Structure 1
């Protein structure tokens, strides 16, 4: 194992001996995979779990001397492992993550290149791997962003739904809206249901929308059994707009009464 040469080094080094056998350094693979466990624990566990055989799948070797923080040798040698390329593919695959799959694909490409004896140019392989890594990073960033947004939305919705029937603070906008519609009903001499109907018409006119359709769409989207207009406004941060519409209804009525008086 002393006459190894590097035959590919796009993602991590792939070595070849004088017999044309190809290997990877398990410690270098471990670093690239960004495994949570320390190398010694990780490699021993993998050897035991997947029945890797010494001198067939891997060979222990002595690595470089360990160094202190300041770069000086401290006189200890570490134990490394050379794995065959096939065993290296398995090591990468069992991590079951995007990086492991990308590295396994890289090993396959290297193996294919040498098996066919029509190697791709290093430049082509570098471009391919760079593009693959870029796409991987973009995909991971997008997934993380979507997951974060989804969690925030779910937490916000859950908090609001859980607290719909617990609000009893004086002056709360939802209570204020109900009180304004009740006051409007008294002024107009109509029942509460009729007052809400007139509020919906006023709201639709003010915002050029269909409040009933929006509430029904929200119920369907979130799988709710029912939802009142004040609850809908509370969940969608629309209470302030609703209160303004109700206030305008009341003010217009009071102004009309003043003119008549």
Structure 2
């Protein structure tokens, strides 16, 4: 690591060695992906599952010993890091992969031919970098909020309980009554899918002779719980407070 220079560090460090190869620490990538798997198992599974080859796709070094057995550190070529971020198949992975692509794009940018070119190029780069950092920060805030929200939603319950708990959290976050939060949910659901869930629930209840039915029960019966959870997730991460009449 001592012979590497840092060429980008807006989201996580990207390094460059003496031959111009761009490298990413697997441990730092693992941390930024919010993976809950133990690091050593995580990286070994990805190397095995996707056929990465040491020397071609990644390098290994031993960490400095602090009295115990030194651990193995993995330095991923940036193409390998992009692939690992992509196969995480979540929003954070896509954000990080986009970041790597932007780092490569900046690295490949044409070198300035004069002092005037350098001044213009630096001014444009600073402006673009500020915009990219602002966008990336907002994306990370959204992802972090989503992770926090899902951590606080009953992970052991069924999908109906999950939706119910998400709406309960929305009520607590916004300081409103639980029934009011369901009115917000119905309005959001109607806006998202151009429908009238309250009327549909009433028709379903009448048709099947039910005394009562809740939104999670109805959405489960018509196989649309995933749609409801997506709406609730948007509500929890929205900066706009819905108003209802």
User: TM-score, normalization: structure 2?
Assistant: 0.56
Shift of 1:7: 0.4
Paired position in structure 1 for 2:207: 225
Q: What is aligned with 2:182?
A: none
* Structure 1 gap ranges (5+): 66-72, 157-214, 237-261
**What is the alpha-carbon root mean square deviation over aligned residues?**
3.6
Distance 1:78 1:101, change over 3 A: same
Cα deviation 1:28-84 (Å, max 9, x = unaligned): 11111121111111111100000001100011111243xxxxxxx334321101111
**Distance change >3 Å, CA 34–CA 218, structure 1 → 2:** closer
- Number of residue pairs the alignment of both structures matches: 165
Report what 1:46 is aligned to. Answer: 46
- Structure 2 contact 95–139 (Cα < 8 Å) conserved: no
Question: Residue 227 and residue 137 in structure 1: after superposition, are their counterparts in 2 closer, same or farther (change >3 A)?
Answer: farther
Which residue of structure 1 lines up, in the alignment, with residue 185 of structure 2?
none
Unaligned runs of 5+ in 2: 112-120, 154-158, 166-197, 216-245
Q: Is the contact between residue 92 and residue 143 of structure 2 (CA under 8 Å) also seen in structure 1?
A: no
CA distance in 2, matches of 1:63, 1:98: 31
CA distance in 2, matches of 1:75, 1:130: 41
Q: Tell me, yes or no, if the aligned pair for 1:63 and 1:77 is still in contact at 8 Å.
A: yes
Match of 2:59 in 1: 59
Q: Deviations over 1:150-190 (max 9, x none)?
A: 9459769xxxxxxxxxxxxxxxxxxxxxxxxxxxxxxxxxx
2:84 is equivalent to residue 91 of structure 1: yes
Alignment-derived partner of residue 67 in structure 2: 74
Tell me, in whole angstroms, the C-alpha distance in 2 between the residues paired with 1:88 and 1:55. 14
Q: Which residue of 2 aligns with 1:14?
A: 14
Deviation by residue 1:102-149 (Cα, 9 ceiling, x = unmatched): 11000000001111236763563254233233145337747959xx7x
Shift in alpha-carbon separation, 1:5–1:152, aligned structure 2, 3 A: same
Structure 1, 112-121 or 50-59: larger mean CA deviation? 112-121
For residue 129 of structure 1, what is the aligned residue in structure 2? Answer: 133
Contact 1:98–1:136 at 8 Å: present in 2 too?
Answer: no
The whole-number CA distance in structure 2 between the counterparts of 1:235 and 1:2 is 60
Relative to structure 1, is the Cα distance of residues 76 and 130 closer, same or farther in structure 2, using a 3 angstrom cutoff?
farther
Q: 1:218: how far off? A: 4.0
Match of 1:116 in 2: 109
**Structure-2 change in CA distance of 1:126 and 1:53 (3 Å):** farther
Work out the CA distance in 2 between the residues paired with 1:48 and 1:7: 29
- Select between 6-15 and 17-26 the one with higher mean Cα deviation: 17-26
Q: Report if the CA contact (8 A) 2:24-2:81 is conserved.
A: yes
**TM-score after normalising by structure 1:** 0.53
Deviation at 1:10, TM superposition (A): 0.4
Pairs within 5 Å for 1:18-29: 18-29=18-29
